[in-house]
Structure 1
Amino acid sequence: MKKIFLLMLMSGLVLTSCVSKKQYAELEAKQKKTQDLLNTATVKLNACEADKAAANATIAALEKRVADLKQDKDDLIKSSKDLTMLTKQGATNLEKSLESLKEKDLKISRLQDALNKKDSVTLALVTSLKKEVGLNDQDIQINVEKGVVFISLSDKVLFKSGSYELSNRANEILGKVATVINSKPDFEALVEGHTDNVPYRSGVLLDNWDLSAKRATAVVRKLKELGANPAQLIAAGRGEYVPLVPNTTAENKSTNRRTKIYVLPKIDQFYSMIEEELETLSKEGK
């Protein structure tokens, strides 16, 4: 009987030991699952905390921006009050400035019209000279220099070599020039003599300057003789001091020996035309 009791007691202990291990395994599995859930929740909590911090920073920045905008609004309100007081005066000043600009633009336009008129006259004068004098000779050039019409004549066309005595051909050419000058009573003819740099001294002439001036006066006298109004004629000598090309060859020296006849509007009349335009503007009250 005692043996049977001991046997039953040992069997109970064995069964009790088996049940405890199974429960332990289940509990261990539950504990692991709970720990995983806790870890996941911790990660989410940390993320939420970070989002909260970022949201708080954004809210603080927005609140500062709102405060700045309110301050800007207050400043603008104050500025608008100040500007309101100056608006009428500012508008008046702006209107005056615009009127002044319009007046200046109109004056410039009128002056430009005067210059355009002068350019038209210049073009007509060039056409007239080319038609009258002709361009079939390489020793005769008709051109415009700085808005002024001129005829350039080689010395061999007008003068004998080394002399200020006019050639026979000069009568023909200068007669045509005189005709053009007579057709332009509001213009003047400036005759300008030029030489090369070869020293010149003959009789009463001291140098090339004397020779160039003497040639210019000879042309002026001939133009007068051919019917040009002497009040429109001017004589000038430039000597060797305004060469077209260096005086290094015989050909270049020949180029520099020339007589230029400028046909130009009278300066005083040109300025009178400008003054008339300005006076017209003043009378119109513009």
Structure 2
Amino acid sequence: MKITTLIPAMLITGVLAQGCVSKKDYAALQSSYNQLQESNRELNERYQTGQQGLSGTTARVKSLEEQIAAEKANATQLQEALNKCLTSSNQGNVNISKLVDEINSSNKYIKQLVNAKNKSDSLNMVLTNNLTRSLSREELGDVDVQVLKGVVYISLSDNMLYKSGSYEISDQAGTTLGKIAKIIKDYQGYDVLIEGNTDNVPITKTNIRNNWDLSALRASSVVQALQNTYGVDPKRLTAGGRGEYNPIAGNDSESGKTRNRRTQIIITPKLDQFMELIGKAPEGSPTN
């Protein structure tokens, strides 16, 4: 927009048209004209400055609007991310809860296993005490008693049980077998397996073919002694021979061969006897 000098010019022209004017009046008119021209120039400058300021302000407003739009978009993205995080957190809480339940269940099972082991240890202690309570220190040197998973293994050395090179029971073994027979008879209903074992040295007896025969004959001798001499019910007894094929030591040394030449009395309690024995656990032993 531009402010023109049309009006002052028309005034001057009108005055001149009416007639001559004095120099004083002309000078006054010229001064007014000059002032109007200066005012017009200042107004134009102010207008241009205002236009420039308006243009800058408009640009700043547009920039601010763009920034506001970007911030709104960013806020929307943050809200969506927050919602996903909350959803994931809730799912995570569910997973953590399930994990805690599984851990508690596992700990409960472990506790049950520990209790079962304590009961098993208690039962083993009871059986071992019952089976060895009447044996002398000398007899314990030739008798090895072990309880594994509720099964009793009484291992008797051949030196104590049999005459040298024979399957006949020695006089020395009679006292020990009598004590073991009493324990067997105390617990009616237990199954009893008598198992003979040898080393790997071939037998040279004419009436015994091999170590199978020797191990079976020795087991049979113990079974018959328990039945005939000590009154154990034969229905509970089983005789078996394993020859040289169930060693517990190497046969490359005399000490190993001595350990392998043994007769085992294997006593297997039934479930009701297990429960009864647990009730008889020695004072101070763990039962739960």
TM class by smaller structure: 0.5 to 0.7
Aligned to 1:41: 58
Change in 2 beyond 3 A, CA 1:193/1:175: same
Displacement of 1:250 in angstroms is 1.6
1:213-262 CA-to-partner distances (Å, cap 9, x unmatched) read 11111111222213323332221101111111232222111111111101
1:144 aligned counterpart, secondary structure:
strand
Change in 2 beyond 3 A, CA 1:33/1:138: farther
Aligned amino acid, residue 130 of structure 2:
S
Aligned to 1:24: 41
1:102-150 CA-to-partner distances (Å, cap 9, x unmatched) read xxxxxxxxxxx9xx99998765443221112356533311111232112
CA contact under 8 A between 1:132 and 1:180: conserved in structure 2? no
Residue in structure 1 matching 2:264, options 256, 260, 265? 260
Task: Report the RMSD for the aligned CA atoms in angstroms.
Answer: 4.1
Q: Does 1:138 align with 2:141?
A: yes
Aligned to 1:232: 236
Change in 2 beyond 3 A, CA 1:188/1:119: farther
Aligned to 1:208: 211
Aligned amino acid, residue 179 of structure 2:
K
Displacement of 1:26 in angstroms is 5.0
Larger radius of gyration: 2
- What 5-or-longer segments of structure 2 have no aligned partner? 1-21, 77-115, 274-288
Change in 2 beyond 3 A, CA 1:16/1:233: same
Q: How many angstroms apart in 1 are the aligned matches of 2:154 and 2:70?
A: 93
CA contact under 8 A between 1:135 and 1:141: conserved in structure 2? no
Aligned amino acid, residue 243 of structure 1:
P
**Paired residues, number:** 209
Considering Cα pairs closer than 8 Å and 6+ residues apart, tell me whether 1 or 2 has the greater RCO: 2
CA contact under 8 A between 2:130 and 2:183: conserved in structure 1? yes
TM-score normalised by length of structure 2: 0.58
Moved more, 24-33 or 192-201: 24-33
Displacement of 1:12 in angstroms is 8.5
Q: How many angstroms apart in 2 are the aligned matches of 1:253 and 1:15?
A: 146
TM-score normalised by length of structure 1: 0.59
- What 5-or-longer segments of structure 1 have no aligned partner? 60-112, 271-286
State, as a whole percentage, how many aligned pairs show the same letter: 37
Q: How many angstroms apart in 2 are the aligned matches of 1:252 and 1:119?
A: 29
Q: How many angstroms apart in 1 are the aligned matches of 2:243 and 2:67?
A: 97
Displacement of 1:44 in angstroms is 1.5
CA contact under 8 A between 1:195 and 1:239: conserved in structure 2? yes
Q: How many angstroms apart in 2 are the aligned matches of 1:118 and 1:9?
A: 137
